[in-house]
Copies of this chain bind each other. A is one copy, B any other.
Amino acid sequence: MIKRVHHIGIAVADLPAALDFYVDALGLTGPQHREIVTAQKIVATFIPIGSDDCEFELLQPHGSEEGSVHKFLAKRGPGVHHICLETDDIEATLAELKAKGLELIDEHARSGARGHKVAFIHPHSTGGVLIELLESD
């Protein structure tokens, strides 16, 4: 069902300072992808991690309305926001999790960054971790 860790989402208050750490200090100099994700009210900056397929996704609030990343930063400060796991079939995975009684933020997939199908599982059902599911095809 779960294939791999697709990315690790980090809420950042100061993107240049975050890039100083991830790119200049850690040396993660692979090609970045930056995208405004309107539905989530964020700008996402994806940074590949070494030779792995996994990426960091740096999340900054975007726009005048307050989205979930804005609220996260106000409440907890910058840090790990979510873990994204790739699955072969996101609708089947969501149906299975729902049948097992898990609390889903999204009962069906919606479009996330780069047009991937994504859905979030509520931290109530995961032991405090916001888990994103993603289907890339």
Contact = CB atoms under 8 A, between A and B. Distances in A.
Q: How many copies does the complex hold?
A: 2
Contact of A79 (B2, B86, B128): B128
A80 B21 contact: no
A15 to B, nearest CB: 9
A74 to B, nearest CB: 13
A100 B21 CA distance: 10
B85 A5 contact: no
Contacts of A25: 96-97, 100, 102, 125
A54 B129 contact: no
A64 interface: no
Interface residues of A, number: 42
B27 A1 contact: yes
A63 interface: no
A123 interface: yes
Interface of A: 1-5, 8, 10-14, 17-18, 21, 24-28, 49-52, 54, 76-80, 83, 85-86, 96-97, 100, 102, 123, 125-129
